[in-house]
Amino acid sequence: MVEHEARRVGLLVTCLVDLIRPTVAFAAVKLMEDARCIVEVPRQSCCGQPAFNSGDRTTTREIAAQVIEAFEPFDYVVAPSGSCAGMLKVHYPELFRGDPNWQPRADAFAAKSHELVAFLVDVCGVTRVAARLEATATYHDSCSGLRELGVHDQPRRLLRTVAGLRLAEMRDANVCCGFGGTFCVKYPDISNAIVGKKAANIAATGAGLLLAGDLGCLMNMAGKLHREGSGIEARHVAEVLAGMTQEPAIGLPAIDAADAEAAGAKPTVTKPTATKPTATKPTATKPTGARTGAQR
């Protein structure tokens, strides 16, 4: 396509973001629009991964064909999830291998499909974001994004440009959190043991904020942290990059009306989202990292 023409992007919302946390998709839209993309959202359900990983190829193919058709008009398909993007980019071609009608369509679809942050950095050439957040964050590399798509440096590179944000790497950031889609409900005991180790590694960084690129992993880790009584907050990396952190963190109750009003403001707002006053009042000039007193 022509260099100066805006990229036309179809957003694959992902079923979890659609149902549980629409903010992530709005953040994705903002980031891509800031990168001069035209973003549209065709009607969609799911990428088919639950069926694929349960061994139901027939249903998976049916869903994949439906997704490929829905996104055919777009230059790019972008998902705010390494796992779903991996499904589109790596596994769709696998599903239709040897099919003379569908293989070329699946291959072309795969070639234009991207994980959100990788798309911003590698395709759109985004080098910095205009967001601010006073916090110390730790970033978890979700498995599919990391190992199927090579998403590792891109989110860290952009996070370093968020004013006020400090990154504290956790031990074994590249190790699975134990979510694994249906795995976490089919083998809850094992999943619990794995996410328990992850929660300990997260806590050991002293960060008050956990970030990752996949809502499934985040729900798993946040759910475990909450169950353990931890005050560490969890957000999708897109929320922070887009400066859309006014919404309460994953699994926290909705903020009151006054705060909701502020939620519409520009992302340069430094007001913490905590509903109760914190001991040290964060200011724009002196980062405290203790947004909600969650660190201790």
Partner 1 sequence: MTLASHIATSSRFKDNARAALADADLQDALSFVEVNFIARRREVADRLPEFEALRDSARDIKDHTLAHLDLYLEAYEERLIAQGGHLHYAVTAQDAREIILDICRGAGATTVTKGKSMVAEEIGLNDFLEGNGITPVETDLGEYIIQLRHELPSHIIAPAVHLTKAQIEDEFRRAHTHLPAARNLDEPTSLLAEARGVLREKFLAADVGITGANFLVAETGTSVIVTNEGNGDLTQTLPRVHIVLASLEKLVPTLEDLAQLLRVLARSATGQEMSVYTTLSTGPRRPDDPDGPGEYHVVLLDNGRSSMIGGAFRDMLRCIRCGACMNHCPVYHAVGGHAYGWVYPGPMGAVLTPSLIGIDKAGHLPNASTFCGRCEEVCPVRIPLPRLMRSWREREFERHLSPATVRGGLALWAFFATRPRLYGLATAMAARLLGWAGRARGRFSWLPLASGWTRCRDFPAPHGETFQSRWKRREKAPLPRPGHAP
Q: Which stretch binds partner 1 (CB under 8 A): 100-108, 109-117, 202-210, 219-227?
A: 219-227
Among positions 125-144, residues that touch partner 1 (CB under 8 A) are 143-144
Q: Which stretch binds partner 1 (CB under 8 A): 54-62, 121-129, 158-166, 288-296?
A: 54-62
- What is the closest distance, in whole angstroms, from the C-beta atom of residue 171 to partner 1 in the complex? 10
In order, the DSSP letters of 40-70 are E-------SHHHHHTT-HHHHHHHHHHHHHH
- What is the closest distance, in whole angstroms, from the C-beta atom of residue 285 to partner 1 in the complex? 25
In angstroms, rounded to a whole number, what is the distance separating the alpha carbons of residues 122 and 100? 31
Q: Does 20 bind partner 1 (CB under 8 A)?
A: yes
- What is the closest distance, in whole angstroms, from the C-beta atom of residue 155 to partner 1 in the complex? 18
Indicate the residue among 100 and 253 with the shorter CB distance to partner 1: 253
- What is the closest distance, in whole angstroms, from the C-beta atom of residue 69 to partner 1 in the complex? 11
- CA 107 → CA 33, 75, 113, distances in Å? 26, 14, 10
Backbone angles phi, psi at 178, to 5 degrees: 95, 5
In angstroms, rounded to a whole number, what is the distance separating the alpha carbons of residues 50 and 37? 30
> Per-residue x/- marks for partner 1, 55-94, CB under 8 A?
xxx-x--xx--x---x-----------------------x
CB 212 within 8 A of CB 140: yes
Would you call 168 exposed, middle or buried from its count of C-beta atoms within 10 A (0-12, 13-18, 19+)? middle
Give Rg (Cα) of the chain. 19
Q: Does 251 bind partner 1 (CB under 8 A)?
A: yes
Q: Which stretch binds partner 1 (CB under 8 A): 50-58, 100-108, 117-125, 152-160?
A: 50-58
